[in-house]
Amino acid sequence: MNKRVFFIAMSITLVVAMLGIHLSLLIKISKIQRDIKKIELRVVETKKELQAKNSEFEKRIDFKKIRKKAEDDFGMEISDHIEYLRVD
């Protein structure tokens, strides 16, 4: 009977220790997941801000004015077709 009690006590101790380790790991994982969600939200907000700034920047740029200045001042021609590789 003494061995049986010892075996039961050791089994209970091992189960409690495993549950404690499991619980501490779950807490760490949940904290990491919470931090990841905060970072993801920050990334989404930053992307929205970047898109807003890009659209504002594009609204301010006058492409027609830049094209006319390049044509008049520098004699450049704007082409609709670009030849990346041309073999004669």
Q: Model confidence over 11-45: pLDDT tens digits?
A: 999 999 999 999 999 999 999 999 999 999 999 99
Residue 84 lies inside a defined structural domain of this protein: no
- Identify whether 88 is part of a domain: no
63 pLDDT band, cuts 50/70/90, is confident
Residue 49 in contact with residue 42, Cβ under 8 Å? no
Distance CA 16, CA 19 (A): 5
Q: Structural domain of residue 30, as residue ranges?
A: 2-74
Domain assignment present for residue 83? The answer is no
pLDDT score of 26: 97
Mean pLDDT rounded to a whole number for the chain: 87
Q: Are 79 and 70 in contact (CB under 8 A)?
A: no
List all residues 6 or more positions away from 71 whose beta carbon is below 8 Å from its beta carbon.
Answer: 77, 78
Tokens of 62: 């006058």
Q: Is the pLDDT of residue 86 over 90?
A: no
Q: Cα angle vertex 46, ends 41, 49, to 5°?
A: 130
Say what the pTM is: 0.54
Residue holding tokens 């075996």? 7
